[in-house]
Amino acid sequence: MQKLCLVPIEVFGQYRGPKYFNWRFPQSPNPILGRWSMMDYGFLAYGLVWCDILQEDVTRLEGEADVYIFPDNLSLAVSDPNIDTFFEGINLPTDWLTPSTTYLELLRNTAGIFQFNQRYGAIYADLFGVPASIFDNATLDTRLRQLSDNEQAVFLATAESFGIDPQLINTNAQLRLLVRQASNIWEGQPFYLGGIEF
C-alpha cells in the first residue's frame, strides 16, 4: 500500500538514505522492502518518503516514534493532536495551521520548505565546500539576523535563486516565518515524488 511519511535520514559515510527502508546502505535491521522515493529536507536529517509497502510494514512504521505517516485522505483537515510536537521537533513550523488546514496543504508546505533547504545546502556547499542546513545553528524561533554572516548571505542567495527579492526579506523575522513564506514559491506548482504529483 502506498503511504507518505516523514522518516529520518540515516547516514553511512558519505551516503544518505531513508531510515527503515532498504536503500543502498541500509543501517536498520530488516529494512523494509519495496519501492520508494524520497525528498530530503536538505542536509537536515529528515525526508519525505513516498513508498509502496506491505501493511505489516505500515504497521511497523506506525510504531516508530520518529516516523510521521500522513493519512490516506489528504483532503481532511489536520486534526492530529501530536502534529505540533512532531513537526516543530524537526524544524517544520506549525503555528500557521488553522482548523481548516488540510493535510494536503500541510504536505505541500512541508515539501516547499524542504526544497528551500535543499537549495540552501547546495549553495552553501558551493561557496564553502561543505554541506549545511539552515538549522545547523538555529531553531525555528531564531531570527535571520542572528545567523552568521555567511549563513545569512546563503539564505538570501537561496531566496534570490528562487526569484525572491532579498531586499524584501526582513532579517528580523524568525526563521519559522521565513521558511514558511518561502514555501509559497511553489504555490500553484506541482511537486513530484515517486512519479506522483501532489
Partner 1 sequence: MALPATDAFTGTNGTAIQTYSSNWTVNTGAFDIQSNEIQVNSSGNESGAHWNADSFNADQYAELDKTAAASFIYIGPAVRCHASAATYYGLYDPSNTGELYLFKMVAGSWTQLGSTGSQGGTGYTARLEVEGTTLTPKINGTTESPPGAQTDSSISSGSAGICGYSDGATRGDNWEGGNLGGGDIIQAIGLNTETDTLFSLSPAKVKIVGLTTETDALLSPDRFKSRSINQNTETDTLLSLASEKVQLLGFQTETNTPLVLSALKLKSLGQTSETDVPFVLITGKSRTLSLATETNSLFQLFSQKVRDLALVTEGDTPLAITGLKVLPIGQVTETDSALGFTAEKTILLGLQTETDTALAFVVSGEIIQAIGLLTETDLPFGLTRAKTKSIGLTSETDTGLSPTRSKLYEVGLVPEVDSIFSITGHKVKTLGEVTEADALLALASSKTLQLSLVSEGDTLLSLITQKALELGLLTETDQALPFLLPQIIELGLITESDVVFALSRFQEITGPGDIIIIPAGNQVYVKARVRTAIMADKKPIIERK
Please give the residue ranges that form the binding site for partner 1 (CB under 8 A): 9, 14-18, 22-24, 35-40, 42-43, 50, 52, 111, 115-116, 118-119, 121-122, 125-126, 129-131, 161-162, 190-197
Minimum distance between the CB of residue 92 and partner 1, rounded to whole angstroms?
17
Q: Helices 149-161 and 103-128: crossing angle, nearest 10°? A: 120
Minimum distance between the CB of residue 32 and partner 1, rounded to whole angstroms?
12
In the complex with partner 1, which residue's Cβ is closer, 43 or 87?
A: 43
In the complex with partner 1, which residue's Cβ is closer, 84 or 128?
A: 128
User: Which residue do the cell numbers 506548482 mark?
Assistant: 189
**Residues 50, 12 contacting (CB under 8 angstroms):** no
The three-state DSSP-derived secondary structure of 144-189 is HHHCCHHHHHHHHHHHHHCCCCHHHCCCCCEHHHHHHHHHHHHCCC
Minimum distance between the CB of residue 115 and partner 1, rounded to whole angstroms?
4
Minimum distance between the CB of residue 98 and partner 1, rounded to whole angstroms?
26
Burial 71-103 (b: 16+ CB within 10 A, else e): eeeeeeebeeeebeebbbebbbbbeebeeebeb
In the complex with partner 1, which residue's Cβ is closer, 63 or 190?
A: 190
Three-state DSSP class for 136? Answer: helix
Minimum distance between the CB of residue 174 and partner 1, rounded to whole angstroms?
22
In the complex with partner 1, which residue's Cβ is closer, 9 or 169?
A: 9
In the complex with partner 1, which residue's Cβ is closer, 26 or 80?
A: 26
**Residues 176, 182 contacting (CB under 8 angstroms):** no
